Structure 1
Amino acid sequence: MSALSAPPILDFSAFYGSDIEAKAKLVEEVRKCCHYNGFFQITGHRVPLDLQRRVMKCSKRFFDLPLDDKMEIDKNLNSFNRGYELLRSQMLEVGTGPELKEGLYIGEEIPEDHPYFLQKKLNSGPNQWPQTVPDKDEFQKTTMDYYHAVFELAKDVLGVVALTLGVDSDFFQPLTTGAVATMRYLHYPAQPKDEDETLNRGIGAHTDFGCVTLLLQDEVDGLQVLDAPSGQWLDVKPVEGAYVVNLGDLFMRMANDKYKSNIHRVINKSGRERYSIPFFFSGNPDYLCECLPNCRAPGEAAKYPPITVQDMVTAAYKESYGRAEKYKREMETTKLEATPSVAAVGA
């Protein structure tokens, strides 16, 4: 793999077919990507293009709503990350401003009598649905149909990754059974082309928290992946129907750092609005993440102690959102200190 090549586009259909050589080639290509930077794109999957197009329209319909309507389902009204996320709520990169994006958090419908809700498991609870979005019933159905389709695709991706480790494709079944995943509708407002990209990132440079992420992009670019050997940022051009796939911190930890959770960011310099739909697959919250097979040499120790999915991802959420709140408090303090007092003005 060239050090300066953007994540390759792989034909995932070989995973479902009977061609042994094609499947072996796919597994080897994924293995190389996992070792290099943990990023690749896939086509030939089983999520219908029509469903992708419909769900992207759902996203745009939601963000077209007045702010007051969106704030009725503010995710801060609950403790399990479901609902609307206001612009500049999160801050993933130290030294930048809170991020220039708004979102809608969605997950599996978890009723309030479900054990996950009662035990306060990761991101587990009922969805908050917008009441004024056009075609409300179709909005909810399309959203959940898409969620379930990508959930299954995430399991298939982990099946291929298992094969790269020299184990059976169902190795991760204990991780994927009862798994928690979070989908986000994201909207990046248009920015002037000369906007200060240091302070105004769509998403700051970061790595993802969980096991694997599948990203659906619209036609507007902005996603960049860091090429670690050269230090250069590589644009990931949108490809209709494709998913950008990347490993998260939790998987890299299990892989003893042999597989990479790589730094990426979004800078929307297009002058247009950008929409994307990331799907973050964390796993069963009680799954104990330990060093995976064939990820350490004989006699080599595991770099990390065991940790549950719940504890790993929850800590990462608290850090990124806490960073944004701290930044806002500091900015408010700076403004107050810079504002002349009434007595000083009168003097």
Structure 2
Amino acid sequence: MLIVDAAFYGKDAAAKAVLVKQVRDACLAKGFFQIVNHGVPEDLQQAIFEQSKDFFALPMEQKEKYDKACHPNKLGYERFRSQNFEKKAVGELKEGFFFGPNLHKDHPFVQQGRIHCGTNIYPSEVSDPEIFEKTMMQYHQLMTKLATNVLSIIAMTLNLGEEYFGKFCHDSGAVLRLLHYPPQAADASEEERGIGAHTDFGSVTLLLQDDVGGLQVFDKPTMSWIDVKPTPGAYVVNLGNVMMRYSNDTYISNLHRVINKTGRERYSIPFFFSGNPDFVVDCLPGCEDADGKCKYPPVRIEDWIFGRHTNTFEEGKGVEELSSLAKVA
């Protein structure tokens, strides 16, 4: 997988042009790439992994006190087997925790019960609740900035101005998600997924993964799955459904999955950047087809995210949202 240097904030126009071309090629090919020199401190990355491990080590009865199913904005603990994309088993072998932007209880999004835009909940049973909360808040803020910067580069890959996605990014309902995958035996059934083949819901996802591995991306030319080798400190960036619709399929929202047969526990920290809940995605200038038309009707961000969230968490019908690529194993 292509690794690009995200240190593009200097005055070197030639270096920025190279970066834009690299990102465009990656978006056209697989919709995935990795970035380094992104500005997120290594000590903060280590801290969020430590806090994540601390929480998931708690007894189940303590974790379930924060069940996101009981939260009006779907924030909090995600139980094992609660999501099911492929319907190959009883549910996926992972647990998680959702955090949205740090909004005051009087914020309109909180009052209106917007999905993932409520008051975050923080577990009191972790080793140091104050450090846990501070780490999540700081990380969410830095990742929001990084996602916005990545989108500025993506705008340039489509011959749009760097600030084109400004309104889209304002007051984004971005989600920070801690994930824990227990180990699976090397001879575990192929039906057992850490997370099944799926495409992401939003515009871009930035994933911090540990050194265990298990993430696989679908390669259409060979009709096979490619392992994404962890690069220390790097972020795996992939485009989601919103960007695919926005670009009228110019860019791909690609299938990926996690199968952890290493015999080790796996931790990852994805950051899902969906956009402003009230923003209506239509078709980007220059992405219309030869007849000047779009494949998709306009859709409000919150309506799209809510529908996909309900589809995979509550109804277990994620497989119905997959493209024809999902016909492979």
TM-score range, shorter chain: over 0.9
Paired-residue identity, %: 48
Q: How does 1:6-25 map to 2 (within 5 A)?
A: 7-13=1-7, 15-25=8-18
Give 1:210 deviation, angstroms. 0.5
Comparing 89-98 with 259-268, which one deviates more in the overlay? 89-98
Corresponding position: 1:47 with 2:40: yes
Following the alignment from structure 2 to structure 1, what is the Cα–Cα distance between the partners of residues 143 and 114? 21
Q: What is aligned with 2:304?
A: 312
Give 1:121 deviation, angstroms. 2.0
Deviations 1:273-297 (A, max 9, x none): 0000000000000111011122124
SS in 2 for 1:72: helix
State whether residues 246 and 283 of structure 2, in contact with CA within 8 Å, keep that contact through their aligned partners in structure 1.
Answer: yes
Corresponding position: 1:133 with 2:122: no
Q: How does 1:76-155 map to 2 (within 5 A)?
A: 76-155=69-148
Query: In the alignment, residue 41 of structure 1 is paired with which amino acid?
Result: Q
Following the alignment from structure 1 to structure 2, what is the Cα–Cα distance between the partners of residues 322 and 119? 21
SS in 1 for 2:35: strand
Following the alignment from structure 2 to structure 1, what is the Cα–Cα distance between the partners of residues 97 and 207? 15
Deviations 1:75-100 (A, max 9, x none): 11113111111111001124344100
Q: What is aligned with 1:222?
A: 214
Q: What is aligned with 2:185?
A: 192
Following the alignment from structure 1 to structure 2, what is the Cα–Cα distance between the partners of residues 88 and 325? 13
Query: In the alignment, residue 16 of structure 1 is paired with which amino acid?
Result: Y
Q: What is aligned with 1:273?
A: 265
Give 1:112 deviation, angstroms. 3.2
Distance 1:322 1:74, change over 3 A: closer
Q: What is aligned with 2:287?
A: 295
Give 1:108 deviation, angstroms. 1.4
Give 1:326 deviation, angstroms. 11
Corresponding position: 1:204 with 2:199: no
Query: In the alignment, residue 41 of structure 2 is paired with which amino acid?
Result: P
Give 1:123 deviation, angstroms. 1.4
Segments of 5+ residues of structure 2 without an aligned counterpart are: 320-329
Query: In the alignment, residue 159 of structure 1 is paired with which amino acid?
Result: S
Give 1:72 deviation, angstroms. 1.2
Corresponding position: 1:33 with 2:17: no
Query: In the alignment, residue 10 of structure 1 is paired with which amino acid?
Result: V
State whether residues 207 and 235 of structure 2, in contact with CA within 8 Å, keep that contact through their aligned partners in structure 1.
Answer: yes
Q: What is aligned with 1:4?
A: none
Normalised by the size of structure 2, how large is the TM-score?
0.94
Moved over 6 A (4+): none
Following the alignment from structure 2 to structure 1, what is the Cα–Cα distance between the partners of residues 25 and 307? 30
Query: In the alignment, residue 316 of structure 2 is paired with which amino acid?
Result: A
SS in 2 for 1:205: strand
Distance 1:326 1:52, change over 3 A: closer
SS in 2 for 1:163: helix
Comparing 111-120 with 44-53, which one deviates more in the overlay? 111-120
SS in 2 for 1:180: coil
Following the alignment from structure 1 to structure 2, what is the Cα–Cα distance between the partners of residues 206 and 98? 14
Q: What is aligned with 2:326?
A: none
State whether residues 99 and 116 of structure 2, in contact with CA within 8 Å, keep that contact through their aligned partners in structure 1.
Answer: no
Corresponding position: 1:248 with 2:240: yes
Following the alignment from structure 1 to structure 2, what is the Cα–Cα distance between the partners of residues 60 and 134? 11
State whether residues 97 and 201 of structure 1, in contact with CA within 8 Å, keep that contact through their aligned partners in structure 2.
Answer: no
SS in 1 for 2:274: strand
Normalised by the size of structure 1, how large is the TM-score?
0.89
Query: In the alignment, residue 312 of structure 1 is paired with which amino acid?
Result: W
Deviations 1:233-285 (A, max 9, x none): 00001111100000000110010011000000000011000000000000000
Following the alignment from structure 2 to structure 1, what is the Cα–Cα distance between the partners of residues 224 and 317? 30
Segments of 5+ residues of structure 1 without an aligned counterpart are: 1-6, 328-347
Q: What is aligned with 1:257?
A: 249
Deviations 1:125-147 (A, max 9, x none): 11111111001101110111111
Q: 2:67 aligns with which of 69, 74, 78?
A: 74
Following the alignment from structure 2 to structure 1, what is the Cα–Cα distance between the partners of residues 90 and 198? 14
Query: In the alignment, residue 88 of structure 2 is paired with which amino acid?
Result: G
Comparing 34-43 with 74-83, which one deviates more in the overlay? 74-83
Following the alignment from structure 1 to structure 2, what is the Cα–Cα distance between the partners of residues 284 and 25? 30
